[in-house]
């Protein structure tokens, strides 16, 4: 029973390591022109948002099945 748990935990650790290494290889290319078939018209690329917002844009790519929107929270250190 203990051996099964150890093997399972090692498997999870290897999986998490592989996922974290793959996620680090993604870097945006600032020189890429925007695709007119997939475009967010509002808000602009660098924009401070708070609360709930509607995102406006369009996506019409060949063989497109779905899409998702990613964002990251802005981490601001607390002020004294």
| Per-residue confidence (pLDDT) for residue 22, from 0 to 100 | 56
0.75 exceeded by pTM? no
| Per-residue confidence (pLDDT) for residue 25, from 0 to 100 | 58
Q: pLDDT tens for residues 1-48?
A: 688 888 888 988 888 777 666 555 566 667 777 777 888 888 877 777
- Extract the tokens encoding 35: 């695709």
Distance set, CA 5 to CA 1, 18, 49 (Å): 7, 20, 45
Q: How confident is the model at residue 61 (pLDDT cuts 50, 70, 90)?
A: confident
| Per-residue confidence (pLDDT) for residue 28, from 0 to 100 | 65
């Amino acid at each position: 029973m203990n051996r099964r748990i150890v093997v399972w935990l090692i498997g999870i650790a290897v999986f998490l390591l592989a996922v974290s290494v793959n996620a680090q290889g993604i870097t945006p290319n600032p020189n890429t022109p925007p695709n007119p078939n997939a475009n967010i018209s509002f808000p602009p690329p660098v924009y401070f948002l708070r609360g709930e917002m509607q995102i406006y844009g369009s996506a019409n790519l060949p063989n497109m099945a779905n899409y998702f929107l990613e964002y990251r929270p802005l981490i601001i250190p607390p002020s004294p």
